[in-house]
């Protein structure tokens, strides 16, 4: 029935009920509008129809690209073009509780890594799926929303490799610049309070028994001798903490919403949507002076007078560079691409991985099922339930128990309700084999389960991005490199053992740990090392923190693609600003560090051009 076209009998009212009904509708409409921000308009038609020059062209409107474009356009005399392959994020992406629902849609690049025997064995065709955002905000419009910076030692290690200006003392000001912290217990001198990105704690601690689960974990960790940590950005060591999220009153605060919406009418910022950059325009002097784009099958060359900034991510950035003749000589030659500069583009590919389906049966009976309309109503009016993604607790642990206490494993948690569980759908979109989905669904049928995923914070293994063909629309070959280094296996095995130890605490005495039955693993049982290794190889999956494929490093680093000011070596007018420049992945979630990279890149570009310090230092 079409509700909007349905007539109802006239009622009699003294006015109060009509007023309340009007207020309710107004509240719902405002909440609905909050979920659909007014993003910058698409000006691609005008750009395609006219010859325009831009000072800067930024490729990719994700976590770094939107940041760079917004900050560069603060200079009124600079004309900035931001090009994005996707469109505006859908409303579903802005509701945290609907995380994962747009995986596999047109807003996802739909990447699948190459088949490997060493990992992803219980995935379809033994291939890992890599969800990546294809829309304004990039993956910040579809990630798990967790706020994290990594550790100071991560950035000090970058500096130790020869990357001057990237120590923690140097980047801290950019972390503070980007954030508006709204959480209790935050330490004032390490945070910012008026930046674009809103950071909150969870609003409703009663949702989905979170309070009860949090207390179980807190008591278990205390029993094991680990402290509660109020602010991981200030007190970085092993322990248990409540995670924070990049949300604004329970709405996803993606980078486009935070950086682009407030300046959508800025006249010197031009945004092209659903437009593919197919090639960098590089002249005989190895100077990048623009890009070639494809909009609905029509190609056009667009000129830049100062720089092109690549912020397309750790897969698309190396792909575009190689298609333009910047990359490994032998690989490009094999594909018939003229080599402009021999660079180690695509190497050093790193990612955080975790081990799925360590499920704790909480033996908690099913509660009455809530209607989806009730969930949505409660969210729209009070920001409950759907304003949350998962249990707001993280555990960091140094599994080697070294003196410097530098955690190497992070435990992430997903609490799944039997009433409204999205577990089967989520596992399916991640490419899990049907029999494992059925096992998890059966386990979750009548009781709450808590999925515990040990995450590898500093992988030693590395993969590679290669071209599959010379067509940009043909996805590249992604060799994930997972578990190539035996130390990565050993660390994750220690993470699995830590879960077993957690289960022996008094807090979890009435619960049961279940791991999926896998034929090749059942020849062993815990505590045999072979059992854990087999389970790790079967159930590792991406945490969607892909990085490192255009490594930053000094001149004498033969693997470096960009210098510490993010300029591509031996190529003028080209920088890279995204996760691909990380020489080593940070020990935590990568969205906030990527925004930091965008902030710092914009400042360096301003310094170079405003202070007339542009020199040929390559």
Point out the residues that are catalytic: 545
Report yes or no: 371 and 419 within 8 Å, Cβ to Cβ: no
Q: Is 581 helix (H, G, I), strand (E, B) or coil?
A: helix
The count of other CB atoms within 10 Å of the CB of residue 370 is 13
Which residues, in sequence order, are CB contacts of 148 under 8 Å at separation 6+?
232, 243, 588, 589, 592
Cα angle 97, 2, 90; round to 5: 30
Pick the closest to residue 88 from 32, 42, 35, 136 (CA basis): 136
Q: What is the DSSP letter of 410?
A: E
Q: Determine if residue 277 is labeled as part of a ligand binding site.
A: yes
Report yes or no: 562 and 575 within 8 Å, Cβ to Cβ: yes
CA distance 483 to 548: 17
CA distance 343 to 560: 8
CA distance 256 to 63: 8
Tokens of 99: 């995380």
Q: What is the DSSP letter of 257?
A: I
**Quick one: how far is CA 40 from the chain centroid?**
22
Checking DSSP bridges between strand 276-282 and strand 288-295, what pairing results, if any? antiparallel
Distance of CA 307 to CAs 2, 79, 331, 548, 567, Å? 53, 11, 26, 22, 10
Binding residues: 277
Which residues are annotated as part of the binding site for FAD? 277
């Amino acid at each position: 029935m079409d509700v909007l076209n349905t007539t109802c009998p006239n009622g009699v009212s003294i006015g109060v009920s009509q007023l309340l009904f009007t207020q309710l509708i107004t509240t719902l409409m405002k909440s609905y509008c909050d979920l659909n921000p007014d993003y910058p308009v698409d000006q691609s038609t005008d750009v395609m129809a006219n010859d325009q020059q831009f000072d800067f062209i930024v490729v990719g409107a994700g976590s770094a690209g939107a940041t760079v474009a917004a900050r560069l356009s603060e200079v009124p005399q600079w004309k900035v073009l931001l090009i994005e392959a996707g469109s505006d994020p859908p409303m579903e992406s802005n509701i945290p509780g609907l995380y994962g629902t747009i995986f596999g849609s047109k807003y996802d690049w739909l990447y699948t890594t190459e088949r490997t025997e060493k990992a992803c064995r219980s995935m379809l065709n033994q291939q890992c799926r890599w969800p990546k955002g294809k829309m304004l905000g990039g993956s910040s419009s579809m990630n798990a929303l967790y706020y994290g910076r990594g550790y100071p030692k991560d950035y000090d290690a970058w500096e130790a490799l020869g990357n001057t200006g990237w120590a923690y003392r140097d980047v801290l000001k950019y972390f503070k610049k980007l954030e508006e912290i709204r959480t209790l217990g935050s330490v004032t001198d390490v945070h910012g309070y008026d930046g674009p990105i809103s950071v909150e704690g969870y609003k409703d601690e009663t949702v989905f028994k979170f309070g009860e689960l949090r207390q179980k974990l807190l008591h278990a960790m205390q029993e094991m001798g680990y402290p509660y940590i109020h602010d991981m950005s200030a007190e970085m060591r092993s322990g248990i903490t409540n995670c924070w999220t990049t949300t604004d009153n329970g709405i996803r605060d993606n980078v486009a919403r935070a950086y682009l919406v407030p300046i959508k009418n800025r006249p010197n910022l031009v945004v092209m949507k659903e437009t593919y950059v197919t090639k960098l325009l590089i002249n005989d002097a190895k100077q990048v002076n623009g890009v070639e784009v494809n909009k609905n099958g029509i190609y056009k060359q667009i000129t830049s007078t100062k720089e092109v900034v690549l912020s397309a991510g750790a897969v698309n950035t190396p792909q575009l560079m190689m298609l333009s003749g910047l990359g490994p000589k032998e690989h490009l030659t094999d594909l018939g691409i003229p080599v402009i500069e021999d660079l180690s583009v695509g190497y050093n590919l790193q990612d955080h991985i975790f081990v799925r389906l360590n499920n704790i049966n909480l033996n908690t009976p099913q509660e009455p099922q809530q209607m989806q309309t009730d969930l949505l109503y409660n969210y729209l009016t009070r920001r409950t339930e759907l304003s949350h993604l998962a249990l707001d607790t993280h555990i960091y642990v140094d599994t080697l128990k070294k003196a410097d206490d530098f955690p190497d494993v992070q435990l992430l948690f997903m609490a799944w309700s039997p009433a409204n569980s999205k577990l089967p759908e989520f596992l399916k979109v991640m490419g899990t084999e049907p029999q494992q989905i059925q096992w998890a669904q059966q386990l979750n049928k009548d009781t709450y389960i808590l999925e515990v995923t040990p995450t590898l914070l500093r992988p030693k293994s590395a993969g590679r991005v290669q071209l599959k063909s010379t067509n940009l629309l043909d996805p590249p070959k992604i060799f994930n490199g997972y578990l190539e280094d035996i130390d990565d296996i050993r660390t994750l095995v220690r993470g699995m053992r830590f879960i077993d130890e957690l289960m022996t605490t008094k807090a979890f005495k009435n619960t049961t740990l279940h791991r999926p039955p896998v034929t090749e693993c059942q020849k062993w049982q815990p505590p045999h090392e072979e059992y854990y290794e087999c389970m790790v190889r079967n159930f590792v999956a991406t945490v969607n923190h892909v990085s490192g494929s255009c490594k930053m490093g000094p001149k004498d680093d033969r693997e470096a693609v960009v210098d510490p000011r993010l300029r591509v070596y031996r190529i003028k007018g080209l920088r890279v600003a995204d996760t691909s420049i990380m020489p080593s992945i940070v020990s935590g979630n990568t969205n906030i560090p990527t925004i930091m990279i965008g902030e710092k890149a914009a400042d360096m570009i301003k310094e170079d051009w405003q202070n007339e310090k542009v020199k040929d230092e390559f």
